[in-house]
Amino acid sequence: MQIIDFSNHFERQTLYPHLASGIGRCDLHFGLMPQKVHIISICISYMGKPMSSPKFVKSVVRTCLRIGKGDKVIVFAWRHMIDLAEAFALECERTGAMALIELGTDELYYQKALNLPLEFLRESSPFSLALLEVATANIFISGPEDPERLKLISLDRWNAMIEADKSYYDRLLEKTLRSAQITLGYVTPQRAKTYGFDYREWKENIQAAMDVRYQGMQVLGKKIARMLEKAGEVHITTTKGTDLALKLEGRTALINDGVIDDDDIEKGADFTALPAGHVAVVPKESSASGIYVSDVPEANAGLSIRDVLWKFNDGKLTSFDGGENVECVKALWKEASGDKDQIGSLTIGLNPKAKIGFVYNQIVLGTATVSLGDNRELGGKVESSFSFHCTVTKPSIDLDGKPIMKNGKLLIP
């Protein structure tokens, strides 16, 4: 087992999660996950102490990622997660695989992101690219421990780091790597303070959201997926102003129910998230029409993004407005390349115990989430350096004119 430093590229994963960092789901989800990466995303409370549940680590390594002799596993972690990184690396080596730990620190990351010349930030890390050629599997443990200084990073510096990550991401799309994103590092008192979360409530809710009947979510998820795949059009409305129509026309729906079964594998969906619970579908390109108004804050880059308002006409985004901190996201969108003005995905939440207002709004039962921009991680064709999702609560959803949800309550027997 070896330990090396990777702070040069780790947090860039946030805006453009092409995966040297695994940051994309919480603090910064302006980016995307590559479609050929098999990802298991796990989010529970872990505070840097020796792993209290070795069965959990063993399950991820042996069952979820199927690590074994001949594998070369890179474990990416921040300093406050080093004990967990060691547990994963050791479990990998117990299977006969070889493991290497890349270690990042908050201070080194922020000093580089805030103070080094732009020319340096634009350079791709040769170490990351070289490791990518060697690895057969990745385990990403999220961070940083304290997201407060993320909001100090200027737009030109974010764009420089996005540019540096492009070659890594492009190469990663060409490869098929088993990867696990372990978002345990997000659950810290510092992050709770930055986003205004009640830390104790957050920890308790994550645990509750994991302690669900996964079989029940699986059954419900399959029912919704079948209905989405048969529908030609979906119509989403809320009392807050959302009135959005999307064409589906036989698109495959992917279920994240915490269980990877044969049906998931057949669809190419070697992905789950814990806490789990949603069904996602990629709408037809250039089909969006209407208005989408989010009504729950999204934690991003040290900021709470509120009341996002998107207007679509003939499949293109025509207006990007909203409330608090939306201008920060819009600025990144303006600078982004590719199909940034197209709808990316529609997600319907399944988890009955997850609560709105933390970092997993998209899994909460009775919600709908829409993303803008790149959707290749779901097998879509929209390619962009920008991707952002936001959620509506208590939506009404019709498929070909028939209601399947009314004010957040599913109408499925």
Are residues 329 and 371 part of one domain? yes
Handedness of CA 102, 82, 33, 154 (dihedral sign): negative
**Can you tell me the distance from the alpha carbon of 98 to that of 136, in angstroms, rounded to the nearest whole number?**
10
**Residues of the chain predicted below pLDDT 50:** 1-26, 28-53
Are residues 295 and 387 part of one domain? yes
**Can you tell me the distance from the alpha carbon of 391 to that of 275, in angstroms, rounded to the nearest whole number?**
17
Closest CA to 252 of 345, 361, 370: 345
Residues 6+ apart with CB under 8 A from 141: 22, 75, 76, 77, 78, 81, 84, 85, 88, 182, 184, 185
By the 8 A CB rule, do 257 and 210 touch?
no
Number of domains observed in the structure of the chain: 2
Are residues 309 and 186 part of one domain? no
The answer to whether residue 348 sits within a structural domain is yes
pLDDT at residue 214, as a whole number: 76
**Can you tell me the distance from the alpha carbon of 259 to that of 221, in angstroms, rounded to the nearest whole number?**
11
Residues 6+ apart with CB under 8 A from 284: 246, 247, 248, 249, 251
Are residues 81 and 226 part of one domain? no
pLDDT at residue 87, as a whole number: 93
List the 72-78 sheet strands across, edge first: 2-5, 98-104, 72-78, 137-141, 178-182, 38-42, 272-274
pLDDT at residue 6, as a whole number: 33
Are residues 404 and 367 part of one domain? yes
Are residues 264 and 170 part of one domain? no
pLDDT at residue 44, as a whole number: 43
The answer to whether residue 202 sits within a structural domain is no
The answer to whether residue 201 sits within a structural domain is no
CATH code of the domain containing 135 = 3.40.1830.10
pLDDT at residue 8, as a whole number: 33
Neighbour count for residue 236 (Cβ, 10 Å):
21
pLDDT at residue 264, as a whole number: 63
The per-residue pLDDT for range 226-268, each reduced to its tens digit, is 999 999 999 999 999 999 999 998 899 999 876 656 676 566 5
The answer to whether residue 204 sits within a structural domain is no
Bridge partner residues of 129 (DSSP): none
The last residue of one of the domains, among 149, 167, 195, is 195
By the 8 A CB rule, do 145 and 106 touch?
yes
Handedness of CA 113, 119, 120, 121 (dihedral sign): positive
Are residues 173 and 220 part of one domain? no
The per-residue pLDDT for range 42-101, each reduced to its tens digit, is 444 444 444 444 566 887 788 777 889 999 999 999 999 999 899 999 999 999 999 999
pLDDT at residue 47, as a whole number: 46
Domain region containing 293: 213-410
Are residues 406 and 319 part of one domain? yes
By the 8 A CB rule, do 228 and 355 touch?
no
SS3 state at 188? coil
Residue 112 in tokens:
């580089």
Are residues 174 and 235 part of one domain? no
* Position 263, amino acid: D
The last residue of one of the domains, among 152, 167, 195, is 195
CA distances 8 to 4, 5, 90, 163, 337, Å, are: 11, 8, 25, 14, 23
